[in-house]
Amino acid sequence: MTDPYYVKGIPEDVASDHFVKASALGGFVKACAVRSTGIVRDAMRYHNTSPSVTAALGRFMTGSLLISENMKNETDTQTTIIKCSGPIGGMTCVCDSSFNCRAYPVNSVIEGDEQINVKGAVGQGTLTVVRDIGLREPYGGQVELKTGGIGEDFTYYLMASEQTPSIVALGVLIEDGTVRHAGGMMVQLMPGYGDKETDYLEKRIHGFPDFTYFLDEGFTPAQILDLFLGDPDIKYLEGAPAAFRCTCSKEKMSSGLITLGSAELLSMAEDKKGIDTECRFCNSKYHFTPEELSKLAVEAR
Ligand SMILES: [Zn+2]
């Protein structure tokens, strides 16, 4: 008896973070789901976020991963940016084509943040998606935030900017200050769909519990898609591990410093202590001595 929930590519330990993709309703529906608990825990640890920021950033990273699913080449990247009026100030997330992502909030801590309130933390603003897939120019789109709840904002982006009717459901369950579960799903109608498929999905989503409820009950992302779609002919297409992974290095930090220009670098080199730089995505620190700064100043000329 083969495992009906076997998906090629997913990690052996299905309790670890991973992505799955399926097709259903005769191919008129594409459905993706991701477990992102470890990713959101890492983000919380790197950025010391207060609860509403953890929830907002967690939903944002999860949604960003889901919409990155169609990138194919190793060097493809997707950058998602929320600019907003709420106290979080904004968020940036970068995904590669292998479900690795890194992200940071503009403000990690909201004062008096006890009750989780994602919409309150985000407020009004814009969602921008930029994909660099080796074309001459990166491409993407921008929409106004619909509600600031993140899931609805991605749904609106996919419809308005990519003309794909979608359901995006994202969840981060925080208990006693720790991330208990995080994950989400994206269900999309494919070209050729009709009222039958639209009506069916509308009925299915009505009253469907939060994604993290099912994770808490021990269901895997593949099983949650099965529960949602209710199609005995669901086909699991592929899966992959997902992770928070930063790609920063001293070398990349040097390239960033060089863009400041020679004069600026020489003036920084006058400080005998040198300078400390910090990666915005993972808070790794890189020290540059006055000698190193002087060398970079030469390169910047
Ligand atoms: Zn980093």
The tens digit of pLDDT for each residue in 89-111 reads 999 999 999 999 999 999 999 99
pLDDT of residue 139: 86
Distance 155 CA to ligand 1 centre (A): 29
Report the CATH superfamily, name and number, of domain 18-244: Hsp33 domain (3.55.30.10)
Distance 104 CA to ligand 1 centre (A): 10
**Confidence at residue 4, expressed as pLDDT on a 0 to 100 scale:** 87
CA of 250 to the centre of ligand 1 (A): 10
Fold annotation for 250-300? CBS domain Like (3.90.1280)
Q: How far is the CA of 286 from the centre of ligand 1 (A)?
A: 10
What pLDDT is stored for residue 39 in this prediction?
98
pTM: 0.94
Expressed in angstroms and rounded, the spacing between residue 41 Cα and the centre of ligand 1 is 16
3-state secondary structure at position 95: strand
Span from the CA of 103 to the centroid of ligand 1 (angstroms): 9
pLDDT tens figures, 206-263:
999 999 999 999 999 999 999 999 999 999 999 999 999 999 999 999 999 999 999 9
Q: Which amino acid makes up residue 270? A: E
Length, in residues, of the chain: 301
Q: List the one residue out of 241, 209, 238 whose CA is nearest residue 38.
A: 241
Q: What is the pLDDT of residue 1?
A: 58
User: 285 C-alpha vs ligand 1 centroid, how far in Å?
Assistant: 8
Q: How far is the CA of 109 from the centre of ligand 1 (A)?
A: 19
**CA 82 to chain CA centroid, nearest Å:** 11
Question: For each successive 10 residues of the chain (301 residues), what is the average pLDDT?
Answer: 86 96 97 98 97 98 97 93 98 97 98 95 98 87 97 97 96 96 98 96 95 97 97 96 96 94 94 94 95 94 86
Q: Which residues of 178-205 are buried (b: 16+ CB within 10 A; e: fewer)?
A: ebebbbbbbbbbeeebeeebeebbeebe
What count of other Cβ atoms lies within 10 Å of the Cβ of residue 74? 9
Report how far ligand 1's centroid is from the alpha carbon of 281 (Å).
Answer: 5
Judge contact between 78 and 68, C-beta under 8 A. yes
How much is the pLDDT for 135?
84
Domain boundaries, the chain: 18-244, 250-300
Cα 102 to ligand 1 centre (Å): 8
Instruction: Tell how far the Cα of 143 is from the centroid of ligand 1, in angstroms.
Output: 28
Distance 284 CA to ligand 1 centre (A): 5
Q: How far apart are CA 103 and CA 281, in angstroms?
A: 5
Q: What pLDDT does residue 144 have? A: 98
